[in-house]
Amino acid sequence: MTYIPNTDADREAMLRAIGIPSIQALLSTVPREVRLTRPLRLPAALSEPELRDLMAELAGQNLDFDHAVSFVGGGMYDHFVPSAIRHLASRSEFLTSYTPYQPEVSQGTLQAIYEYQSMICELTGMDVANASMYDGASATAEGMLLARAATGRSRVAVAGSVHPQYIETLRTYAHGPRLTIDLIPCPNGALDPARLHDAVSDQTACVLVQHPNFFGGLEAVADIERITHAHGALLVMAVDPMSLGLLKPPGDYGADLAVGEGQGLGNQVSFGGPTVGFFAARQELIRRMPGRIAGKTVDTQGRRGFVLTLQAREQHIRREKATSNICTSQQLNALMATIYLSMMGKVGLRKVGELCLQKSHYAADQISQLPGFSLRFSIPFFKEFVVRTPVPPGRIVHELAKQRLLAGIDLGWFPSLNVDDCLLVAVTERRTKPQIDRFVEALGALI
């Protein structure tokens, strides 16, 4: 329990206990140039109606996906979220649920987790999936740690076409166990199998590739799988679940682990989170998986029931035996993904993929016809593509925002990619032809 001092005497007593003469002395380590040297200029107190009006005015300044047409991607996408998802997920028994430690009172939540795992396995073509991860980046990093534990090796080959923020997360996770990340440049927008062949060795724990990758391009996964397994390494594939209605799933490629970001599966973008990462593996790797796994069983009377079967995190078992230190469950977000997949089914998910594919290629063709605009890479893509622009991409983002058009991602934000003159554009099933045409027209007007 945290103690909060309520009086001046309490604060003075605490300062004496730690040997500090004053609050000012306690804060002396804070650089003087960032300290506030004047009283806070707080406005007068507001009534509840006045406060609601003020908050509504401030919220109205946000150019979110409900008030703008979005062509922003890079891992978070403006996919359609059926209204039933919010209605069902906001039921109190789901909204307030956490880790179902007591199966006798948590059958509904446990069954939802079990159904989520089953759907992720069917979607990815893998044998087993866990309950949920924080997000796509942490799921990818946990895949790297699993590969290290399974192989005993200390090097990780990562395609340079993987999301830059995923790569930074990998580096953070690799610091403690002293893993070496071999980043393979992808100047053509996808991993060249020949470069991969030169980069892997008998010290490589895994090869990590994203498909579709950060640029939206499709990788030569069959060649990558062959090279990876020839060196005894594991293949970790980060995938966009929205593409799996059309593209071959990781399991069909022979991947050992399938990870990714599940935001598109019925979750709002919500200013970048919270989201849900998914993690699936081959059966023989099940006991090295992070997080939790819910299973189906029967009780003493032969009735079906659900329990947490494997809980290999440090809260549940001895720390030195734990596979990870993941703690918080993203079950509410995973529930939304479960409802979405249940509602869409195989036919619906395929239709979403077809719309993303067709609309993004239409947009790319139209933009390429503008003077000075061209596609940066010639590789096949799913719903996202990179455009070389004749004007600074940052200016495009800024100017089009005034027209309530979110133009995409200025790739100059990621200097390591060496595509400073490029814009990353995403087109989902929500974009209409008039919206795409308006976007193209706005780009043309900036030349």
The phi, psi pair for 214, rounded to 5°, reads -60, -30
Nearest to 277 by CA among 295, 293, 265, 294: 265
Strands 257-261 and 405-406 come out as unpaired
Q: Does residue 314 sit in the same domain as residue 408?
A: no
Q: What pTM did the predictor assign?
A: 0.87
pLDDT, position 317: 60
pLDDT tier for residue 312 given thresholds of 50, 70 and 90 = low
- Is the residue at 36 inside a domain? no
Greater confidence, 198 or 307? 198
- Is the residue at 31 inside a domain? no
Of the listed ranges 51-65, 206-220, 357-371, the least confidently predicted one is 51-65
Tokens of 168: 């930074």
What span, in angstroms and rounded, lies between the C-alpha atoms of 348 and 350? 5
The predicted-structure confidence for 179-205, as pLDDT tens digits, reads as follows 999 999 999 999 999 999 999 999 999
Q: Does residue 364 sit in the same domain as residue 300?
A: no
pLDDT tier for residue 126 given thresholds of 50, 70 and 90 = very high
pLDDT, position 22: 87
pLDDT, position 1: 46
Q: Does residue 328 sit in the same domain as residue 354?
A: no
The predicted-structure confidence for 69-110, as pLDDT tens digits, reads as follows 999 999 999 999 999 999 998 888 787 666 777 777 788 888
Q: Does residue 368 sit in the same domain as residue 411?
A: yes
* Beta carbons within 10 angstroms of residue 372's beta carbon: 12
Tell me how many domains the chain contains: 2
pLDDT, position 3: 54
* Token pair 């690799």 in the structure block, residue: 174
The distance in angstroms from the start CA to the end CA of the chain is: 61
- Domain housing 127: 83-340
Q: Does residue 321 sit in the same domain as residue 405?
A: no
- Is the residue at 17 inside a domain? no
Q: Is the pLDDT at 262 greater than 50, yes or no?
A: yes
| Percent of the residues in the chain that have a pLDDT greater than 90, as a whole number | 71
* Torsion region of 175: left, alpha or beta (phi above 0 gives left; psi -120 to 50 gives alpha): alpha
pLDDT tier for residue 6 given thresholds of 50, 70 and 90 = low
Average pLDDT rounded to a whole number, residues 245-251: 97
Q: Where are the alpha helices (DSSP H) in 185-231?
A: 193-199, 221-230
The predicted-structure confidence for 34-67, as pLDDT tens digits, reads as follows 988 888 988 899 999 999 999 999 988 888 888 8
pLDDT, position 23: 82
The predicted-structure confidence for 149-162, as pLDDT tens digits, reads as follows 999 999 999 999 99
